[in-house]
Amino acid sequence: MTNYIVPQNVAISDSGFLFQPATGESYTLNEIGKLIFKMLQSNSSGEQIIEKVCEEYDAEAKSVERDLEDFITQLKHYSLLKLS
């Protein structure tokens, strides 16, 4: 099972504004991105995230799974998430 680690110095605001102090970069997340990121911060599994997004947004699990994989890839690329 993959564990997701959000670096402690990465901050997210209630409005979905992400800040990476190590690089000085900032990013804006939409509502779904904000939900996913907060779930990653609370150590939720990929399965839990998919279930929650499907429930909240009446989405198809396969579609959410693909989108989650893409989102995680982007977060890793910008040093906003690590895998263990």
Q: Per residue in 3-44, pLDDT tens?
A: 899 998 999 999 999 999 888 999 999 999 999 999 999 999
State the CB neighbour count (10 A cutoff) for residue 46.
Answer: 18
Q: Which two tokens stand for residue 83?
A: 């895998």
- DSSP letters for 11-32: EE-TTSEEEETTTTEEEE--HH
pTM: 0.92
- Per-residue pLDDT tens digits for 63-79: 999 999 999 999 999 99
Cα(68)–Cα(49) distance, integer angstroms:
8
Q: Map out the domains of the chain with their CATH numbers.
A: 4-83 (1.10.10.1150)
